[in-house]
Amino acid sequence: MDTPVISDLAEARLPAADDYRYPDGHGVDLAALRAYRLGRLRAELAARDCAGGLFCDPLNVRYATDSANMQVWVLHNAARYLFVATGGPVVLFDYHNCDFLSRGLGTVDELRRPAPICPYEAGPKLGERAAGFAPEIDALVREHGGANRRLAVDTVNHLVTTALAASGLELIDGHDVAEQARRIKSADEIAAMRVSVAVCEAAMAAMQRETRPGMTENQIWSILHRENIARGGEWIETRLLNSGPRTNPWFQECSHRVVRAGDLVTYDTDLIGPFGYCADISRAFVCGGERPTEAQRELYRIAWEQVQTNTALLKPGMSFRAFSDASYDLPAPYRKGRYASIVHGIGLTDEYPKVLYPEDWDAAGYDGVFEPGMTVCIESYVGHEDGGEGVKLEDMVLITGSGTAPLSGYPFEPDLMA
């Protein structure tokens, strides 16, 4: 497929590129995308009667503002955070000398220097720094929330939440607020996701084209990273590529194993592409152009049938439990190694909901309803309980008013489906 030419992607954070157009026709109006997402987040805060929200998770900060800064590093160092007043300003506390990264976004009203609220920044003074940080947040809540003392808070150190609670704030879970806001995508979000998928599929094609017997799994996987970064993508969340006997069980990450002709190679992209959106697609192929074995075809056929059956089943208004109960019945020898979900949401990363197999429902399932505007992944992993190889397949779809529309379209392997 044609790959969008994504040059000057950094300009997408500058005013001159707020309406950035890609040569493949996927127009993304960034001003509209940002306004929609911030509006969704504020609506969730209002629905829970919160004065505002304090967000440290970089994906939630990105969703609210489209501001990004060292996204992987700040996943484990709370060096930037965001206060969103439900009926007031958005205040971004950003890392040292990084204010310029968020100017012109139209979603940030004020920039401040963050307090040191993680061990990297505060060292042994973390408790002291957390206690000093709470009054500043408390003052924002008082100024913009009036008598409302409810504050949504996502991932922060427990000393921080303790200090906030001690100031008299009533804390609720900010992650759930953000997850529910993120569940329904706008047209511009869908357009941005399609750009990320196009980049991912071009990278997948390069990885498969360049795979040769004698390469290691790590060498093959590096091609996906290379192509994603070269096209303006951001990072890849996992290293889930395996070959031959390492394809079963699933969830081993790639290694120095040398791939041989005739081995199955199967992988899950988990790729964060342009605009920060995730392209989560899984495929399998036979290394070296060898003719597939009957066992490989059988694995592939079952995985393909599961993805196709469950995609056709999915409808708006259907409950998660009803979908689970009616979903593809995985043959008994493959149930032990089943995947962790049959469907999950997708956006800036894996998102709400996570829909489980019927046999896992009572232990960990939760109900809800599929809605138009949700974007989800249809999952399958098939590996026999007695061992041998395994196959991972996965597609991304948009839930529409009547069913689903594909977001991913990377081809399946005709030789494995024969």
Instruction: Tell me the pLDDT tens digit for each residue of 109-141.
Output: 999 999 988 888 888 988 888 888 999 999 999
pLDDT of residue 131: 86
Residue 4 lies in a domain: no
Domain that holds residue 47: 9-182
**191 and 177 share one domain:** no
Instruction: Write the burial class of residue 403 (CB in 10 Å: 0-12 exposed, 13-18 middle, 19+ buried).
Output: middle
pTM of the predicted protein model: 0.92
Q: Which backbone phi and psi does 22 adopt, to 5 degrees?
A: -105, 145
Q: End-to-end distance of the chain based on CA atoms, in angstroms?
A: 23
Write the CA distances from 148 to 21, 25, 141, 160, 315, integer angstroms.
42, 46, 8, 20, 39
**77 and 202 share one domain:** no
pLDDT of residue 70: 92
pLDDT of residue 156: 87
**285 and 177 share one domain:** no
Residue 1 lies in a domain: no
For residue 52, what is the domain's CATH number? 3.40.350.10
Q: For the chain, how many structural domains are there in total? A: 2
Instruction: Tell me the pLDDT tens digit for each residue of 295-307.
Output: 999 999 999 999 9
Taking 70 as the pLDDT cut, the residues of the chain under it are 1-26
